[in-house]
């Protein structure tokens, strides 16, 4: 079959079931099968595809037709300009890039900063920091063994193994006697109410443990992290967390008992997306 015709056929199927990115998704699946970049695909559109590649194409297309996210089909996602392997973890979101940006700016003047990334998932936050902050050391932790394997693989792929360490466990549980310059986390924060509004591609495919806090307002993990963090922070350290846009006041109410300085910042879509806490209460 001719590649151009195959792409039109696949795009139409994806469009009919309501996938907005139908054209690009069909192309990405084909690129994955052929190990082609975008340009190679454009230059070879008039070619015919052989039977085994065609079978593989339909196998992956069926997964997308069942609303599986393209990042799980290709095991790839770009984040902060870096390529991440994605398997058994949350898919890195562009919304999270503002958290990384904040951390990198904050660390610019620190000498050999030590950073902890709690609930690291793919490692996208901690590894981006390790990549862009020259003399940093980053310890990444997750409760999910498989996610941690993915994060380790990403560290290898990005040549960051020497600057990073990986610990398995719940929140601060795997850390002992460590004082960091910056603690960062994007913990699960989807509340019981919001859970019901999620689209199939998220609800059916992304790890629930990484998404849901299983409480009414999504603050369960923030409360735990805020209460424990000071033990692992140097006096001038900061705690940076990604938050949901409706959680600002709830988090402020918890944080003010533990920190004197509370500051929120917005993402590119102008939604409140991050909180920074410092000046531990004496
Ligand atoms: N830190 C990872 C991310 O931001 C994973 C977060 C999580 O599993 N809750 O994508």
pLDDT score at 120:
98
Atom of ligand 1 nearest to the CA of 96: 4
Name residues contacting ligand 1 (CB within 6 A). Answer: 90, 92, 96, 119-122, 124-125, 186-188, 210
Q: What residues contact 92, with CB distance under 8 A and at least 6 apart?
A: 77, 79, 84, 86, 121, 122, 124
Per-residue pLDDT, 35 = 96
Check residue 10 and give its pLDDT. 98
Q: In this predicted structure, what is the pLDDT of residue 61?
A: 98
The conformation of residue 50, written as its DSSP 8-state character, comes to P
Nearest ligand 1 atom, CA 187: 9
Q: How far is the CA of 230 from the centre of ligand 1 (A)?
A: 21
Q: Report the nearest atom of ligand 1 relative to the CA of 122.
A: 2
State in Å: Cα 183 to ligand 1 middle.
14
What pLDDT score was predicted for residue 277?
Answer: 98
pTM for the model stands at 0.95
Q: How far apart are CA 93 and CA 80, in angstroms?
A: 10
pLDDT for residue 245: 87
Residue whose C-alpha is closest to residue 103's, from 142, 84, 131:
131
What pLDDT, on a 0 to 100 scale, did the predictor assign at position 15?
Answer: 98
**58, 7 in Cβ contact below 8 A?**
no
> How high is the pLDDT of residue 282?
78
CA dist 197 and 219 (Å) reads: 18
CB–CB of 174/141 below 8 Å?
yes
The shares of helix, strand and coil residues in the chain, as percent rounded to the nearest 5, are 45, 20, 35
Average pLDDT score over the chain: 96
Low-confidence ranges of the chain (pLDDT < 70): none
Q: 238 forms bridges with which residues in the sheet?
A: 182
Distance 132 CA to ligand 1 centre (A): 19
């Amino acid at each position: 079959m001719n590649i151009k015709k195959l792409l039109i056929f696949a795009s139409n199927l994806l469009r009919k079931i309501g996938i907005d990115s139908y054209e690009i998704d069909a192309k990405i699946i084909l690129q994955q099968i052929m190990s082609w970049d975008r340009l190679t695909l454009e230059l070879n559109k008039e070619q015919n595809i052989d039977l085994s590649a065609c079978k593989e194409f339909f196998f992956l297309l069926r997964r997308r037709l069942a609303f599986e996210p393209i990042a799980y089909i290709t095991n790839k996602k770009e984040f902060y300009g870096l390529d991440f392997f994605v398997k058994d973890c949350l898919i890195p979101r562009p919304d999270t890039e503002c958290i990384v940006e904040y951390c990198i700016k904050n660390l610019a003047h620190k000498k050999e900063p030590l950073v902890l990334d709690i609930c690291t998932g793919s490692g996208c936050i901690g590894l981006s920091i390790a990549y862009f902050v020259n003399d940093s050391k980053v310890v990444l932790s997750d409760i999910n063994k498989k996610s941690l394997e993915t994060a380790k693989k990403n560290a290898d792929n990005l040549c960051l193994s020497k600057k990073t360490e990986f610990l398995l466990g719940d929140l601060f549980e795997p850390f002992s006697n460590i004082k960091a310059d910056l603690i960062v986390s994007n913990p699960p924060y989807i509340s019981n109410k919001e859970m019901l509004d999620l689209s199939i591609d998220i609800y059916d495919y992304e790890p629930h443990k990484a998404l849901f806090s299983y409480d009414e307002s999504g603050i369960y993990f923030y409360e735990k992290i805020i209460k424990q963090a000071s033990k692992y922070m140097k006096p001038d350290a900061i705690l940076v967390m990604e938050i949901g846009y409706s959680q600002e006041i709830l988090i402020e109410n918890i944080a003010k008992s533990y920190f004197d300085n509370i500051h929120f910042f917005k993402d590119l879509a102008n939604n409140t997306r991050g909180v920074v806490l410092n000046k531990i209460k004496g």
